[in-house]
Amino acid sequence: MSEAVIEGLKALGHPLRFRILQALAEGERNVGDIETASGIGQPALSQQLAFLRKAELVTTRREAKSVFYAIDDERLGEIRQAVDALRPAAKPGDLDAQKLQMQRTGAAVFARLNI
């Protein structure tokens, strides 16, 4: 597992950083909007945003004096893949595994009933 993925998992594991990411789940926001949505005040917000930047979980964009933050979907996808790799592989006939596979792919799984 890459060091970047481990840093991302550490970042996700902190309650304040997780709240910030929840606030960003709806889309790009500036610092004031993140503060309002997350309820995290300064300077804690700045510290946690710096950590998220270092972990590359957020991207930034500057517009005049405002800095806008957004979730880095690519990095989050890498972390998701690393976590998915920890789940057990599906076994034929295992309904829980089939449900797990359906959740991963979004595809429906149909069971055959022998009556």
Q: What is the pLDDT of residues 25-45, one digit of tens each?
A: 999 999 999 999 999 999 999
Structural domain harbouring 95: 91-115
Distance CA 103, CA 67 (A): 35
For CA atoms 110, 79, 27, 21, the dihedral sign is positive
Is residue 34 domain-shared with residue 58, that is, in the same domain?
yes
The verdict on 17 and 54 lying in the same domain is yes
In a domain, 18, yes or no: yes
Q: What is the pLDDT of residues 80-98, one digit of tens each?
A: 999 999 888 756 666 665 5
- Residues 58, 8: one domain? yes
Instruction: Tell whether 35 and 62 lie within a shared domain.
Output: yes
Q: Is the pTM of this model over 0.85?
A: no
Residue 85 in domain = no
Whether cis (ω within 30° of 0) applies to the bond prior to 88 is no
Q: How far is Cα 70 from Cα 88, in angstroms, rounded to an integer?
A: 32
3-state secondary structure of 26: coil
Q: Tell me which residue of 79, 77, 72 sits closest to 58, measured CA to CA.
A: 72
Structural domain count, the chain: 2
